[in-house]
Amino acid sequence: EPEVTQTPSHQVTQMGQEVILRCVPISNHLYFYWYRQILGQKVEFLVSFYNNEISEKSEIFDDQFSVERPDGSNFTLKIRSTKLEDSAMYFCASSQSSGANVLTFGAGSRLTVL
């Protein structure tokens, strides 16, 4: 069964460093998403991406964050200068369409900022 893959599974970084989280969505999906979950809190929406541009973003997704689809397969989330509060599990997801369509999630990338 097709799956969404995320790398790395766990990254530890120093505050102020740049981090890039990578995702390979399902090949025939058109919509891509990043969510995050701080330990013990809700899974929060960050950004959605369609047709090579951001379609929606939340208040969390400030200028520190950026997303890119550099080629036909990868979808990346970059955090320019990490803060302690960026420590979380980051989930990538993709879907064939919007609406009531189901999102397929990756296993997540755990980011720890020291």
Partner 1 sequence: AQSVTQLGSHVSVSEGALVLLRCNYSSSVPPYLFWYVQYPNQGLQLLLKYTTGATLVKGINGFEAEFKKSETSFHLTKPSAHMSDAAEYFCAVSGKSGGSYIPTFGRGTSLIVHP
**Beta-carbon contacts of residue 18 (< 8 Å; ≥ 6 apart):** 78, 79, 80, 81, 82
Please report whether residue 53 would count as binding partner 1 according to CB under 8 A.
no
The CA angle 83-32-92, to the nearest 5 degrees, is: 45
- Kindly identify the residues of this chain, within the stretch 71-100, that bind partner 1 according to CB under 8 A: 91, 93, 98-100
The distance of closest approach from Cβ of residue 48 to partner 1 in the complex, given in angstroms and rounded to an integer, is: 6
3-state secondary structure of 85: helix
Q: By the 8 A CB rule, do 108 and 8 touch? A: no
The distance of closest approach from Cβ of residue 15 to partner 1 in the complex, given in angstroms and rounded to an integer, is: 26
- In the complex with partner 1, the residue whose CB is nearer, 81 or 101, is 101
Helices (H), 46-100: none
Tokens 């064939």 -> residue:
96
Judged by CB under 8 A, the stretch of 12-20, 31-39, 69-77, 80-88 that binds partner 1 is 31-39
Please report whether residue 41 would count as binding partner 1 according to CB under 8 A.
yes
Closest CA to 29 of 7, 5, 11: 5
The distance of closest approach from Cβ of residue 77 to partner 1 in the complex, given in angstroms and rounded to an integer, is: 15
User: Out of 12, 15, 20, 43, which residue is the one contacting partner 1 (CB under 8 A)?
Assistant: 43
The distance of closest approach from Cβ of residue 17 to partner 1 in the complex, given in angstroms and rounded to an integer, is: 25
